[in-house]
Structure 1
Amino acid sequence: MGEPFYITTAISYPNGKPHIGHAYEAIAADVIARFQRAMGRDVRFQTGTDEHGLKMMQKARDLGITPKQLCDGMSSYFIAMCDNLDVSYDVFIRTTEERHHTASQELWRRLEANGDLYLDRYEGWYSVRDEAFYDESELVAGEGGDKLSPQGTPVEWTVEESWFFRLSKYAEPLLKLYAEQPDFIQPDGRRNEVLRFVEGGLRDLSVSRTSFDWGVKVPGSDGHVMYVWVDALTNYITGLGFPDETGDFANYWPANIHLIGKDIVRFHTVYWPAILMSAGLALPRQVFGHGFLLNRGQKESKSLGNVTDPLELAERFGVDPLRYFLMREVAFGQDGSYSPEAIVTRCNAELANSYGNLVQRVLSMIFKNMDGTLETFSSAEADDVLLATVFAACRDELPREFAAMNFSGGIDAWMRGVFACNAYVDEQAPWTLRKTDPDRMRAVLLTLFMAIRDLTIAIAPVVPTSASKVLDQLGIPADERSYAALTGADWYMARVATGEKLGAPVPAFPRLELPEDAA
C-alpha cells in the first residue's frame, strides 16, 4: 500500500434533507480521494452526520417523534446522496453510534486530566441554528433591529450552568501553529480571518448544556451533555477507532485534510486544534474552507423557494456531468454559482462536443476502417508533438493543480490536451488519408487512441463512471488506470499483443438538453 492519506468532510446536520451545498462538498472530497488513490496513496475517506444538539431535539418534537427516530430517518438521505453521486467514502460516521459516545467521553476525560475543564455559569448569546455561542461584539443588527449572529441567524440570551474549556490558554499556541504551518488553514483568506480572530483574544468556551439532554453525556456530571461541536469534531477520530490509538488511528491520524464550508472554519481551526493540544493528540495537517455554491448568484433558502435537491439535479443532467461542472466551473475555495443553463452549456461544450465527440469519432474510425485492430505503427513528428502535449497535461499539469486543490485549473490543463487532439484530427484528416495514405491514417488514429487513454485516466477522479466506460471500450485493464500508468512506456505494445479488437463505441457523454421548466 502507498503512503496513507486521510480526508474528511464536515459531518452534515440532518435536520433537513441534503441540499446542493452538501453535495458540492461530498463531490469535491471524493475527487480528492479518487485523485490521491490514482496517485498511489492509501486513502481513508470519511463523511457522516452530526445528530445531536438542540436543533435536532426541537425538530423531532415538532414532528412528534423521538430524536433518534429523526436521526435514523434523515441520515439515510445523506447516505443515499453519497451513494447516488458516486462518492467513494470508506466510513460513514453517525454521532449517535455508541463508539462515538465512547470516543467523545474519553476525549473529555483527557481535557479534564489536563486541567482544562472547570464548572461555572454561562450567560451569553447563543444561536440555535448555528449551534454556536457569540460575543456581543460579533452580533449584527437585523432588519427589525433584532440581534443576529455573524451568519445572520437569530440568537437568544442563554443562562445556565456549564462546563468551560480553557480556550484562552491556547491563544499563543494557536498563533504559533499558524505562523509555523501557514498551510494549516487554506485558502489564505480564511487563514487571515482566523488569525485576526485569535489575535483579538480568546475567551473560554462553554462546552456543556443542561437545558436539553439530546447529546453525549458528560462523564461524572449528571444533567450535562456535551456542547454539540465538541462531540461533532470528535467524529474525525471516532472513525479511526479512538480511544484505541493503534490500527487505523496509528495509520491514518493526523488527517491530511479536513474539507469544510467556510462558515465553520473557526470551529475547525481554533476549537479543534486547541482541544487536540489539550488531549495530547496530533493536529490535522490542513483545514480547507471551501466557498458557497449559489443558485443563479443567490444563496439558497426556503423563503426564496430556490432550494435544489442535488439528486434531482443529477437525475436531470447525469451524475458525471454534474460532478464535472462543479469542479470545472467553480474556483475551489471561492463562492461559485450554478444554473441549469450553465450546466448544459459547460458540459455540452467540453464533455460532449470536445472530449466525448473526440472519443466517439476516433474509436468509430478505428472500428470501421481498421476492423477495430490495434497494431504497431510508424509515427511522424506531428504524432510525437501531440503525445508530448497530452502527456504533459495529464501527467504533469493536472496532477500538480489537483494536488493544490485547484480543480478548475487542472481541468483547464486537461482541456488543452483535448483541444490539441481535436486540432490534430482536423489537421491530419484521417477520413481523407483513408483513401490517399492508409498507413498514415492508421498512425494518426492509433496516436489518438494513445492520447485518449491518457486523457481518460487523468479525468477519471472527476467523472469516474464515464471514464471507466471509456477505458473499458479501450480495453485498458482495471489495474492499469492509475496515474502511475501514465508514465509507463510499454502499455500500448502490451495492449497490441492481446490481439483483442475494439468493438463499436458507445457514446460516453451525450449532449444535454435544457429542461423546459429551467428558465
Structure 2
Amino acid sequence: MAEPFYLTTAISYPNGKPHIGHAYEAIAADVIARFRKAQGYDVRLVTGTDEHGLKMAQTARNAGRDTLEFATEMSNHFRAMCERLGIGYDAFRRTTEPQHHAASQALWMAMAARGDLYLDRYEGWYSLRDEAFYDESELIDGEGGQRLSPQGTPVEWNVEESWFFRLSRYRDWLIELNETPGFLEPESRRKEVLSFLKGNELRDLSVSRTSFDWGVPVPGSPGHVMYVWVDALTTYLTGVGFPDRDGDFARFWPASLHLIGKDIVRFHAVYWPAFLKSAGLPVPKAVFGHGFLLHRGEKMSKSLGNVVDPIELADTFGVDPLRYFLLREVSFGNDGSFSAEAIVTRANAELANSFGNLAQRVLSMIFKNLDGVLKANLDETEADRALRADVSAQLAKMTEHFEALSFSEGLETWMRAVFACNQYVDEQAPWALRKTDPARMTAVLNILFRCVRDLAIAVRPVVPTSIDRLLDQMGISADARDYIALADNSWFDTLAGSSYRVAQPVGVFPRLDLASENAT
C-alpha cells in the first residue's frame, strides 16, 4: 500500500473574497500534492474556511446579513477560486459543519480530561483583526499613541470570563519540539518561534468567549463559545474524519505538512501542538511558513486600492502561466513581488520561448520529416548520451528541490535541462542533417522526443493542464505521466513499435501580451 501523505493549507477566514495571497498558498499546496502523487504517495489535500469568530459576525452584521448565509456565500468564493486555479483538494471543510463542531468538542473534552482547562477572568490585549491575544511586551506604538500588535493591527483591552488552556505547562516541550530538525521551516520562522518561547514566560491562553455566540459551543459551559483558533485548527483533524479515530484518521494523521503564511506560525508551532499534546494526539510532522506576495513591492491593502483578484489574474494570463510564475519567481519561504510585466516576461521567456518552442519544433520536425513515425534502437553518439544523462541528472536535482519545498530553485534546475536540449538542437542542426545525413537526423529527433517527454512529466505538477495537452499529442498514456514513469526505460520502444504517429502539433504555451493593467 502506498505511503500516506497528508497536506493542509491554512483554513481561510472568509470575511472577504479570496486575494492573491490565498491563491499563492493554494497553488503551492496543489503543486506539492501533485508532486507527491507523482512519486507514488497516497495523498490527501485538505483546505477550507474558518467561519466563526467576532470578526465574521461583525462583518455579516454590518452588511445586514444572516451570519451563516453570509459565511456560505463567502466560502463559495474560496471554492470557486480553487476550481478556477486547478486546486485538486480531496476535502473542503467548513467550520460551520456539524462534523467539525463534534470534532472541536471532542478535542476540547480531551484537553479537559487532561486537566488543562480552567475557568477564570481574562484581562488583556486582543486584536480583533488577528483574532489573537498579545502580551504587553509584544505591543508597539502606533500613531497618536495607539497600541498595536506585532503585526501592526489595533488592539483593545478586553475583560470577560473565560476558559483558559494551561499553555505554560508545555513551554519546555514546545522548545524541544521546535528545535527538532524539520518540524518548523524555514529557519527564519523557527528562530522567531524559539525566540518567543525562550524569551517570554509562556502565559496560559484564553480559549473561550462570552461576549458573542458565533462559534462552537463549549461543552457543559452555557454562554461560552470556543476561541476561534481552537476551532479553526481542529479543521485539520476534521479533514481526516475526526472524532472518528479509525479509517482515514488512523491512516493519515499526523499531518505530513501544514502549509501556512508566516503571520500565523505561532498558532501552528505553539498553540496547535500544545492542544494536540494535551489531547493525547500526535503532532504534525512539519509546518512551513511561506512569505507574503507584494504587488510591485508594496503590501496589498484595500485602502491603497492594490488588492488583486486571483481569478482576474487567471483570466488575464491563464492558469498555468500564473501557477508557474508564482512558484518560479519567488523563493518559497521569502516575501516576493509580482506585476503584470513580470508574469508576462517570465511566462514568455521560459514557458513559451524555451520549453514550448522546444516541444513545438521537435514534434513539428518529426511530423514533417519522419511522417510522424518514431524509431527505436537507433545508434547513439556521445553527444546523445551526454544530453540524456544531463537531463536525467537535472531532473533528479529538481526532485530534491521540490522535496525541500524549494520550488524556484527546482524550476531553475528544470530550465537548465531545457537549455541543454535547446543547445543540443542548435549544435546538431537537424534541419541541415535532413539533406546531409537523414539517419542522423532521425536519431537526433528521437533523442529530443524522449527528453521533451521527461521534461514535461517533471514539470507537470506545476502546469498540469498544459502538460497534459502536450503529452496527449505525444501519445503518452494518462497512466504513464508520473515520476515513476521516468524510470521506465522501455516506454519509447513500446511507443515506437505501436501504431502511434506524431500529428501536426499545436502549441500549448502561447506567448502572452500585456493586454490589461486593470487586474494588476
Q: What band does the TM-score fall into relative to the shorter chain?
A: over 0.9
What is the aligned partner in structure 1 of residue 103 from structure 2?
103
SS state of the match for residue 34, structure 1? helix
What is the aligned partner in structure 1 of residue 381 from structure 2?
380
Q: Distance in 2 between matches of 1:141 and 1:258?
A: 32
Q: Distance in 2 between matches of 1:195 and 1:218?
A: 31
Question: Is the counterpart of residue 286 in structure 1 residue 303 in structure 2?
Answer: no
Q: Distance in 2 between matches of 1:40 and 1:201?
A: 45
- Give the residue type in structure 2 aligned to 1:41: Y
What is the aligned partner in structure 2 of residue 194 from structure 1?
193
SS state of the match for residue 143, structure 2? coil
Counterpart contact for 2:261–2:291, Cα < 8 Å: yes
Q: CA deviation at 1:484?
A: 1.1
Gaps of 5+ in 2: none
With normalisation by structure 2, the TM-score equals 0.98
Counterpart contact for 2:457–2:481, Cα < 8 Å: yes
Q: CA deviation at 1:137?
A: 1.0
- Give the residue type in structure 2 aligned to 1:185: L
The equivalences for 1:202-281 within 5 A come to 202-281=202-281
Gaps of 5+ in 1: none
SS state of the match for residue 249, structure 1? helix
Counterpart contact for 2:141–2:148, Cα < 8 Å: yes
Q: CA deviation at 1:75?
A: 0.4
Deviations 1:52-82 (A, max 9, x none): 0001100110111111011110000000000
The equivalences for 1:124-163 within 5 A come to 124-163=124-163
Counterpart contact for 2:4–2:41, Cα < 8 Å: yes
The equivalences for 1:364-513 within 5 A come to 364-376=364-376, 377-394=378-395, 396-513=396-513
Q: Distance in 1 between matches of 2:400 and 2:181?
A: 19
What is the aligned partner in structure 1 of residue 304 from structure 2?
304
Q: CA deviation at 1:143?
A: 1.9
Q: Distance in 1 between matches of 2:47 and 2:472?
A: 30
Identity of aligned residues (%): 66
Aligned residues: 517
Q: CA deviation at 1:219?
A: 0.2
Deviations 1:253-274 (A, max 9, x none): 0001000000000000000000
Q: Distance in 2 between matches of 1:290 and 1:159?
A: 34
Deviates more, 1:239-248 or 1:280-289: 239-248
SS state of the match for residue 118, structure 2? strand
- Give the residue type in structure 2 aligned to 1:194: V
Q: Distance in 2 between matches of 1:27 and 1:340?
A: 18
Q: Distance in 2 between matches of 1:188 and 1:426?
A: 43
What is the aligned partner in structure 2 of residue 341 from structure 1?
341
Q: RMSD of the alignment, in Å?
A: 0.9
Question: Is the counterpart of residue 323 in structure 1 residue 331 in structure 2?
Answer: no
Q: Distance in 1 between matches of 2:257 and 2:155?
A: 31
- Give the residue type in structure 1 aligned to 2:269: T
Q: Distance in 1 between matches of 2:491 and 2:61?
A: 61
Q: CA deviation at 1:497?
A: 1.6
- Give the residue type in structure 2 aligned to 1:39: Q
Deviations 1:394-447 (A, max 9, x none): 2x1111000000001111110011000000111111111111111111111110
Counterpart contact for 2:101–2:216, Cα < 8 Å: yes
Q: CA deviation at 1:178?
A: 2.3
Deviation >4 Å, runs of 4+: none
Q: Distance in 2 between matches of 1:21 and 1:286?
A: 21
Q: CA deviation at 1:516?
A: 4.8
Q: Distance in 2 between matches of 1:25 and 1:516?
A: 24
SS state of the match for residue 260, structure 1? strand
- Give the residue type in structure 2 aligned to 1:305: G
Q: Distance in 2 between matches of 1:451 and 1:128?
A: 54
Q: CA deviation at 1:154?
A: 1.0
Q: CA deviation at 1:457?
A: 0.2
- Go from structure 1 to structure 2 and tell me whether the alpha carbon gap of 1:156 and 1:247 turns closer, same or farther (over 3 Å shift): same
What is the aligned partner in structure 2 of residue 6 from structure 1?
6
Q: Distance in 1 between matches of 2:69 and 2:139?
A: 35
Deviations 1:165-215 (A, max 9, x none): 000000011112223x22111001100110011112200000000000000
Q: Distance in 2 between matches of 1:416 and 1:202?
A: 48
Q: CA deviation at 1:242?
A: 0.8
Q: CA deviation at 1:32?
A: 0.5
- Give the residue type in structure 1 aligned to 2:187: D
Q: Distance in 1 between matches of 2:353 and 2:159?
A: 62
Q: Distance in 1 between matches of 2:422 and 2:174?
A: 52
SS state of the match for residue 123, structure 1? strand
With normalisation by structure 1, the TM-score equals 0.99
Deviations 1:349-379 (A, max 9, x none): 1000000000011100101111111112222
Deviations 1:293-328 (A, max 9, x none): 100111100011100000100110000000000110
What is the aligned partner in structure 2 of residue 185 from structure 1?
184
What is the aligned partner in structure 1 of residue 351 from structure 2?
351
SS state of the match for residue 21, structure 2? helix
- Give the residue type in structure 2 aligned to 1:278: S
Q: Distance in 1 between matches of 2:186 and 2:254?
A: 20
Counterpart contact for 2:19–2:308, Cα < 8 Å: yes
- Give the residue type in structure 1 aligned to 2:184: I
Q: CA deviation at 1:144?
A: 2.2
Deviations 1:265-295 (A, max 9, x none): 0000000000000000000000100000100
Counterpart contact for 2:340–2:517, Cα < 8 Å: no
Deviates more, 1:266-275 or 1:375-384: 375-384
Counterpart contact for 2:316–2:516, Cα < 8 Å: no
What is the aligned partner in structure 2 of residue 166 from structure 1?
166
What is the aligned partner in structure 2 of residue 28 from structure 1?
28
